[in-house]
Amino acid sequence: MARLVPALGAFFVLALAVSACGDSVPGNSVVRVDDGTIKRSTFDHWISIAAKSSQPPGGGAAPTIPDPPDYAKCIAAKRTTAPKPAKGQPKPSAAQFKAQCKQEYEGLRDQVLQFLIQAEWIQGEAADQDVKVSDAEVKKSFDQQKKQSFPKEEEYRNFLKTSGMTQEDINLRVRLDLLSNKIREKVTKSDAKITDKQIQDYYDKNKSRFAQPERRDLNVVLTKTRARANQALSALRDGDSWRAVAKRYSIDQASKDAGGKLPGVTPGQQEKAFDDAVFKARKGRVEGPVKTQFGYYVFEVTKTTPKSQQSLKEATPTIRQLLAQQGEQKRLNDFVKDFEEKWKDRTNCREGFVIQMCKNAPKPKRGQQTTPPGAVPQQGQQAPPGAGQPAPPQGAPPQGAPPQGAPPQGAPPQGAPPQQAPPQQVPGQ
């Protein structure tokens, strides 16, 4: 019993130490996300892929994976491939080569960590949301994309060989894409109806958006001098065609190539003096010369389209769709905020592998983005199965929404390891 009591005491001390390090990363891993880990072997596999994809196409030489902390192999490779310095210039030093190797390694490391952490976040969120993707769905999506990108089996095999990716790697990307889509669809779905009052309020506040200004089609000739403009004017009054006169006298290449035609001019679109003259002119009458900062215009109004205003009834389908899309976007934005906070709080990274997606990352500077693009689920689109990663909403409107200043759907997210494959994104936008 005397020997047992100290032994029990040591056990409890050890248990307390382990529980105090609940966020610690196991020795064979680089990141811990919730109850899962990203193993060092997985990181090494993907950084090898990233190194291969960073090579210029047709480079020939095998990629050198930076080998921290000494970078001996990387330095040796750079010495071998470095161009001969110009006459009188010193050769790069080992310290300079090492700095280059360190910079390259940290860039690849961060890209790989972003991708792998994003993958864990999306799979974890799918589990929390009870969102599932079957093996059959993965195969179907893969087969469709493979057929589109690699019509011949040999091309696909060559892609796997040159990229360093395995079929399992590709399947992971396809699965993440499908999970991202399903999560996004789930969190943006709503049974709420757009009411007539909402439509009326939007129309009243944005009436000008449903109006079309007056438009005028013109024939024009632009000359450098008043004398040339008068010559063009005389030729027109003598019966020469606008096409012939524009070809001979005009210095405006666009309207000249169009036979002098300038269609769809709206108020405020042209230089003020010309604009004023155009919207005071009578249809079918040759006018000018009008002096502007660009030269002298001779013109004729060939067609006028009066301004118009869509009625509430006419605008209702557009407004209903827009309000529905805005609702989807708000639900997505709310989800994204919670998603990023939730999963960053569950992510702990080993020293030397810390990026801003980690809970133990240093506090970001003011204005610095804490979670890189690609960290949250976004609606995907069919793409070849060779590259890509989880992609960010970043405020992008739901598919079909009019541009609102957000990144376009399908814009490639930053930070994916493989960039050698044909342009695509799996999973992601």
Q: Which CATH superfamily is domain 32-211+309-429 in?
A: Porin chaperone SurA, peptide-binding domain (1.10.4030.10)
pLDDT category of residue 403 using cuts at 50, 70 and 90: very low
Which pLDDT does position 88 carry in this prediction?
85
DSSP structure string for 184-210: HHHHH---PPPPHHHHHHHHHHTGGGG
Which pLDDT does position 11 carry in this prediction?
35
CA distances from 165 to 42, 44, 176 (A): 12, 12, 16
Q: Which amino acid is at 361?
A: A
- Across residues 272-288, what is the average pLDDT? 95
Q: Between the ranges 56-70, 129-143, 396-410, where is the mean pLDDT highest? A: 129-143
Residue 366: exposed, middle, or buried by beta-carbon count in 10 A (0-12, 13-18, 19+)?
exposed
Element (H, E) at 296: strand 295-305
CA distances from 344 to 43, 114, 115, 247, 363 (A): 19, 12, 14, 65, 13
Which pLDDT does position 62 carry in this prediction?
58
Question: What radius of gyration, in Å, describes the C-alpha atoms of the chain?
Answer: 32
pLDDT in tens, 180-215: 999 999 999 988 899 999 999 999 999 999 999 999
Pick 398 or 262 by higher pLDDT: 262
pLDDT at 397 over 50: no
Sorted by where each begins, the domain ranges of the chain are 32-211+309-429, 214-306
CA atoms within 13 A on the CB side of 320: 11
- Given a contact cutoff of 8 angstroms between Cβ atoms, the answer to whether 240 and 259 are in contact is no
Q: What percent of the chain has pLDDT over 90?
A: 68
Q: Is there a cis peptide before residue 69, judged by omega within 30 degrees of 0?
A: yes
SS3 217: strand
Give CA–CA dist 203/221, Å, rounded: 41
pLDDT in tens, 325-383: 999 999 999 999 999 999 999 999 999 999 999 999 988 777 666 555 544 554 433 33
Between strands 295-305 and 286-292, the pairing is antiparallel
Residue 320: exposed, middle, or buried by beta-carbon count in 10 A (0-12, 13-18, 19+)?
middle
pLDDT category of residue 398 using cuts at 50, 70 and 90: very low
CATH number, span 214-306: 3.10.50.40
pLDDT in tens, 294-338: 999 999 999 999 999 999 999 999 999 999 999 999 999 999 999
- Across residues 86-92, what is the average pLDDT? 88
- Across residues 390-396, what is the average pLDDT? 29
Give CA–CA dist 307/214, Å, rounded: 4
- Across residues 149-167, what is the average pLDDT? 93
- Given a contact cutoff of 8 angstroms between Cβ atoms, the answer to whether 373 and 414 are in contact is yes
Which pLDDT does position 58 carry in this prediction?
56
DSSP code, position 210: G
The number of helices, as runs of H, and strands, as runs of E, in the chain is 13, 9
Which pLDDT does position 23 carry in this prediction?
59
pLDDT category of residue 45 using cuts at 50, 70 and 90: very high
Angle at CA 167, nearest 5°, toward 148 and 61? 90
